[in-house]
Amino acid sequence: MMISKQEFLVRAQLERETLEAWIQEEWLIPGKSTGELTFSDADIARAQLIRDLRSDLGVNDEGVGVILNLVDQVHGLRRVLTEVLRSVRSRA
């Protein structure tokens, strides 16, 4: 389910400038459809994570980028581990 930038700003409770800065930093990578930015539910959850990091966990802007990168790597690893386990099971 993709939503427009307008709807994303409302649902993620973000200012336009903040969103632009986050896209600039590649913390968020929206999709593009007929020239308009589109966002997913995953982007909303990711925006919430960024907000948690900055407000509740006291992480500064440099730290947010580092953490997101590591979080993305963890998910890459989890995905592969899932695939590997599935492969192993299907052979067993």
Partner 1 sequence: MPLRIFFLAEAAVKDPYETLGVERGASPDDIQKAYRRLAKKLHPDLNPGNKKAEERFKEVSAAYGLLSDADKRAKFDRGEIDASGAEQPQQRFYKDFASEAAAGNPYENYSGFADFADSDNILSELLRRSAHVRARGADVRYHLPIEFLEAVTGETKRLTLPDGETLDVAIPAGIQNGQVLRLRGKGRPGIGDGEPGDALVEIAIKPHPFFAREGNDVHLDLPVTLSEAVLGARITVPTPTGAVTMTVPKGSNTGTVLRLRGKGILRRDGSHGDELVRLKVMLPERSDPELEAFATKWESGKAYDPRRDMKP
Residues 8-67 close enough to bind partner 1 by CB under 8 A = 29, 31, 40-42, 45-46, 48-49, 52, 56-58, 67
Residues in contact with 38: Cβ distance below 8 Å, sequence separation at least 6, in sequence order: 2, 3, 4, 5, 30, 31, 32
Verify binding: residue 74, partner 1, rule CB under 8 A.
Answer: yes
What is the C-alpha to C-alpha distance for residues 47 and 27, in angstroms, rounded to an integer? Answer: 8
In 3-state terms, what secondary structure has residue 32? strand
Q: Of 10 and 31, which has the nearer Cβ to partner 1?
A: 31
Q: How far is the CB of 25 from partner 1 (least distance, A)?
A: 13
Q: How far is the CB of 52 from partner 1 (least distance, A)?
A: 6
Positions touching partner 1 (CB under 8 A) are 29, 31, 40-42, 45-46, 48-49, 52, 56-58, 67-69, 71-80, 82-84, 86-88
